[in-house]
Structure 1
């Protein structure tokens, strides 16, 4: 499920990631979905960006062997 995000003046990749996913770590996912804007650092208003679905993982503070991850 892809969505759209319309930028506000002054938005940056990390701000957009935080707004749509609640975490700045998805910047790479956003840029990959919007390669024609990859050189933009600060957006102007009304730029339409594709927002891919993030497979948000419930991150645990437990080490992998206690989470059942191998």
Structure 2
């Protein structure tokens, strides 16, 4: 059974993604799992959204040489 999240007044797709996975850029996966709400930009309180299983990629930052010294 998929997990869900209930919105608070003022939540947005990217804010929810950050709260769920620590990455705003994963908001598209949340949107794909909830096509009935694609027209919403800012959520009212009480909307129940499906939370898909997302593998958050580990990102290694390549620093420029002047920052590694």
Which consecutive residues of structure 1, in runs of 5 or more, have no partner in the other structure?
63-70
Which consecutive residues of structure 2, in runs of 5 or more, have no partner in the other structure?
63-69
SS in 2 for 1:25: helix
Q: Which residue of 2 aligns with 1:6?
A: 6
Number of residue equivalences: 63
How far apart are residue 53 of structure 1 and its match?
1.0
How far apart are residue 2 of structure 1 and its match?
2.6
Query: Which has the larger Rg?
Result: 2
Q: Which residue of 2 aligns with 1:28?
A: 28
Report Cα offsets for 1:22-65 as digits up to 9, x if no partner: 11011110000000000100000010000101111111124xxx
TM norm structure 2: 0.84
Deviating runs (4+, > 2 A) in structure 1? Answer: none
SS in 2 for 1:14: helix
Equivalent residues in 2 for 1:1-70, closer than 5 Å: 2-62=2-62
Partners of 2:3 and 2:10 in 1: how far apart?
A: 21
Partners of 1:24 and 1:3 in 2: how far apart?
A: 19
